[in-house]
Amino acid sequence: MLIPVVIGVTLITFTIAYVIPADPARAWAGQKAPPEVVEQIREKYHLNDPLYVQYYYYISGLVRGDWGYSHSEHRPVLDCLMDYFPATFELTIWAMAIAIPVGIYLGVVSAVKRNKIPDHLSRIFALSGVSMPIFWLGLLLILIFYTYLGWFPASGRGITPSHTYTGLYILDSILSLDFQSLASDIWHIILPAVTLSYATLAVMTRMTRSSMLEVLRLDYIKTARAKGLPDKIVIYRHALRNALIPTLTVAGLAFAGLLGGAVLTETIFSWPGMGRYAYHAISTLDFPAIMGVTFLMAVIFVIANLIVDIMYAYLDPRIKLGE
């Protein structure tokens, strides 16, 4: 399942990196690189050979961990990504942790109170979320909560925990019982996580609403009500459990928005993750870095969707894994 999709991903990244640029060697070496370096790269990646040969070297490079050289950081791309990945991972996890429960709850309320005031409000809130430029939202939050109110910090991840085991600061702070850094790290992640979660939250709300509306019309809901069950049980135990199944697919897709949004959010909040790395890479034309981030994000997205497939089988007894 995973392997063919990742091969597909490499086909596209290969095309972007080797076929689209007018002079791939120049693009990979960087605009300021001296001609010898460009020539060296041309040799190393066999850029004068036919494309399928280049693809072979590209793939074997990826497998061996040679993802190119990031000239903005003067070290291999993979090293940079390893450093930056935990920050992005932490941010997206927290954004998800906000978006999924809140989004589902608002979607349920919206569906149950269809065409009434709560529905209108939550629809407007959700439509705003999918329409909001995430970088603008981040800036507004900084303006309000940092510049004017001074409640939250506007940049960085906070104090580094005394021991780093995972690179996830909040988790590491707890593990090393460093409460000073824990407070600081939570403090720092709130604004970026809220910013990043909004769009996903909105998508979850909309999807939950529409699948709830679909489910609420079905006969087994009538049955549940005919059993005399209270509305709460009918809605959450009987309707929502079924409505979650299609919603889950969207949660997987929404994860893509989260990864894209991370690039913008990290830029705004100077969050030292892969997104900010990509932003710096763009401004210094560090092409290997951009391709590295692109490939890794695609792989993360593919894995996220795999997890969704597994959860699917858990939620829906009609689906058996491997069928």
Partner 1 sequence: MEETASQNFGSKYESQIKEFKYTLHLIRKSPLTLAGLILLIFIFLVAIFAPYLAIEHPIYIGGQQTWLSDFNQTFQPPSWKHPFGTDDMGHDIYSMVIYGTREALYVGFIVVLVAMLIGVLLGAYSGYIGGWFDEVLMRICDMFFAFPGLILAMAITAALGPGLLHVMYALMIVWWPAYTRIVRGQVLSVKQNQYIEAARAVGVSRFKIIWKHVIPNSLPPILVQATMDLGNVILTAAGLAFLGLGAAAYTADWGIMVSQGRSWMIAGKWWWSTFPGLAIFVTVLAFNLFGDGLRDILDPRLRR
Partner 2 sequence: MSDVLLKVEDLHTYFYTYEGVVKAVDGVSFDIRKGEIFGLVGETGCGKSVTALSIIGLIDEPGRIVSGKIIYKGKNLLELSEEERRKIRGKEISMIFQEPMTALNPVYTIGDQIVELLLLHEEGIANIKRAPKELKEEKKKKAIEMLKLVRMPDPERTIDSYPHELSGGMRQRAMISMMLATKPSLLIADEPTTALDVTVQAQILNILLDMKEKLGISILLITHDLSVIAEVTDRVGVMYAGNIVEIADTYALFDNPRHPYTVGLLQAIPSVTEKKEELKYIRGSVPNLIYPPSGCRFHPRCDYMMPICKKEKPKLVEIEPGHYVACHLFGGE
Q: Which of 229, 302, 308, 311 binds partner 1 (CB under 8 A)?
A: 302
135 interface partner picked from partner 2, partner 1, none, CB below 5 to 8 A per type: partner 1
Q: Which helix (H) or strand (E) holds 75?
A: strand 75-76
Taken in order 111, 117, 122, 125, the sign of the CA dihedral is positive
Q: What span, in angstroms and rounded, lies between the C-alpha atoms of 283 and 29?
A: 15
C-beta closer to partner 1: residue 170 or 300: 300
Task: Tell me which of partner 1, partner 2, none is bound by residue 259, counting a contact when its beta carbon lies within the kind-specific cut-off of 5 to 8 angstroms.
Answer: partner 1
155 backbone dihedrals φ, ψ, rounded to 5°: -150, 155
CA-CA distance, 207 to 215, in Å (whole number)? Answer: 12
Confirm if 214 and 243 have CB atoms less than 8 A apart. Answer: yes
Q: How far apart are CA 93 and CA 80, in angstroms?
A: 20
80 Cβ neighbours under 8 A, 6+ residues apart: 70, 73, 277, 289, 292
- Tell me: does residue 176 bind partner 1 (CB under 8 A): no
201 near partner 1 (CB under 8 A): no
Contact present, 238 and 246 (Cβ < 8 Å)? no
Residue 5 binds which one of partner 2, partner 1, none, with CB within 5 to 8 A depending on kind? Answer: partner 1
Taking the complex as a whole, the smallest distance from the CB of residue 77 to partner 1 amounts, in Å, to: 13
**156: helix, strand or coil:** coil
Give whichever of 120 and 222 is closer to partner 1, judged by the CB atom. 120
What's the min distance (Å) between Cβ of 182 and partner 1?
A: 26
Q: How many CB atoms lie within 10 A of CB 289?
A: 27
* Residues counted in the chain: 323
Confirm or reject binding of residue 156 to partner 1 (CB under 8 A).
no
Cβ neighbours for 228, distance < 8 A, ≥ 6 positions apart? none
Residue 256 within binding range of partner 1, rule CB under 8 A: yes
Return the number of the residue (168 or 199) whose C-beta is nearest partner 1: 199
11 vs 51, beta carbon nearer partner 1: 11
Alpha helices for the chain (secondary structure H): 2-14, 24-29, 35-44, 51-64, 77-112, 117-131, 134-142, 169-175, 179-216, 219-226, 231-233, 241-268, 274-283, 287-315
Near partner 1 by CB under 8 A, which window of 87-95, 187-195, 240-248, 274-282?
274-282
Binding residues (CB under 8 A) for partner 2: these are 218-220, 222-230, 232-233, 237-238, 241-242, 315-318
Given the complex with partner 1, which of 76 and 257 has the nearer CB atom? Answer: 257
257 binds partner 1 (CB under 8 A): yes
Q: Least CB distance from residue 227 to partner 2, whole Å?
A: 4
- Asked whether 264 and 275 are in contact (CB, 8 A), the reply is yes
Beta bridge pairs of residue 75: 70
147 exposure class (CB count in 10 Å sphere: 0-12, 13-18, 19+) = exposed
Q: How far is the CB of 197 from partner 2 (least distance, A)?
A: 28
Q: How far is the CB of 265 from partner 2 (least distance, A)?
A: 36
219's contact among partner 2, partner 1, none, with CB below 5 to 8 A by partner kind, is: partner 2
Name the segment binding partner 1 (CB under 8 A); options: 143-151, 178-186, 226-234, 240-248. Answer: 143-151
Q: Which is nearer to partner 1, 135 or 187 (CB)?
A: 135
> From the centroid of its chain, how far is CA 314?
23
Q: Which residues are near partner 1 by CB under 8 A?
A: 5, 8-9, 11-13, 16-17, 20-21, 27, 120, 123-124, 127-128, 130-136, 139-140, 142-143, 146-147, 154, 206, 213-214, 256-257, 259-261, 263-264, 267-268, 278-279, 282-283, 285, 287, 290-291, 293-294, 297-298, 301-302
